[in-house]
Amino acid sequence: SQTIHQWPATLVQPVGSPLSLECTVEGTSNPNLYWYRQAAGRGLQLLFYSVGIGQISSEVPQNLSASRPQDRQFILSSKKLLLSDSGFYLCAWSVQSGAHEQYFGPGTRLTVT
């Protein structure tokens, strides 16, 4: 069966510090991968998605970036965090073809102070 891992679970970082969140998927090959952010009490905002190694599409211009160095690894980064970057960051995967459901990792709760 497929599993998706994210770490760390929680993170408190000062404004201006860098960020690196990692997501890995097991039990499937060539998945679509997604990064979402969810502000407190709000809906999901798609940040990035990837259909393959090195292929990243950005949905929202901001100070975040994403990379996919391996088939089942997806990394979310920032060089300098802003207060507005606080939120619940979720990684998800889906199968490549068709209009399929997504499966989420446990998320990282980021607080920028």
Nearer to other proteins, 32 or 73 (CB): 32
Taking 3-state DSSP, the helix, strand and coil percentages for the chain, each rounded to the nearest 5, stand at 5, 60, 40
Residue 62 Cβ, how far from other proteins at the closest point, in Å? 18
Of residues 14, 43, 61, 69, which one binds other proteins by CB under 8 A? 43
Question: Cα–Cα distance between 39 and 50 in angstroms, integer?
Answer: 22
- Indicate whether 5 belongs to the interface with other proteins (CB under 8 A): no
**Strand order through the sheet with 19-26:** 3-7, 19-26, 73-78, 64-70
- Indicate whether 83 belongs to the interface with other proteins (CB under 8 A): no
- Indicate whether 90 belongs to the interface with other proteins (CB under 8 A): yes
Of residues 2, 57, 84, 113, which one binds other proteins by CB under 8 A? 57
Question: Cα–Cα distance between 103 and 2 in angstroms, integer?
Answer: 9
Angle in degrees, CA 43, 44, 48, rounded to 5 = 155
Can you give the binding site for other proteins, defined by CB under 8 A? 32, 42-44, 46, 49, 51, 57, 88, 90, 98-107, 109
